[in-house]
Amino acid sequence: MDEIERETRYLDLDGDGVPDATETIEVRRQTIDAGRHHTTVTEVVDEIDSDIGVDGEPGEVQVSDTIVIEEVTEE
């Protein structure tokens, strides 16, 4: 089973009350069941787009990607 969640927030990095960046967090989960063995893989991609020009294109993009693997075996 695959699951994808996405959230976008506007950020005020310089504290002037006007958003000047966006942050998009995407979480993907996949669960694999093989008999009594269950594996869940979760990937979190966090992207911050800043220095956005009048054309809407970001001047700077920061991306972090974290993967967590959880394995459970029933006894």
Q: What is the pLDDT of residues 33-60, one digit of tens each?
A: 888 889 999 999 999 999 988 888 999 9
Cα–Cα nearest to 46, from 70, 27, 29? 27
Question: Does 75 score more than 80 pLDDT?
Answer: no
What is the tally of structural domains in the chain?
1
CA angle in degrees (0–180, nearest 5) for 63-67-60: 0
Residue with tokens 């809407």: 56
Question: What pLDDT was estimated at residue 5?
Answer: 96
- What is the 8-class DSSP label of residue 18? S
Domain assignment of residue 37, given as a range: 2-73
- pLDDT of 1 reads 57
pLDDT higher than threshold 70 for residue 62: yes
- pLDDT, tens digit, for every residue of 10-29? 999 889 988 889 999 999 99
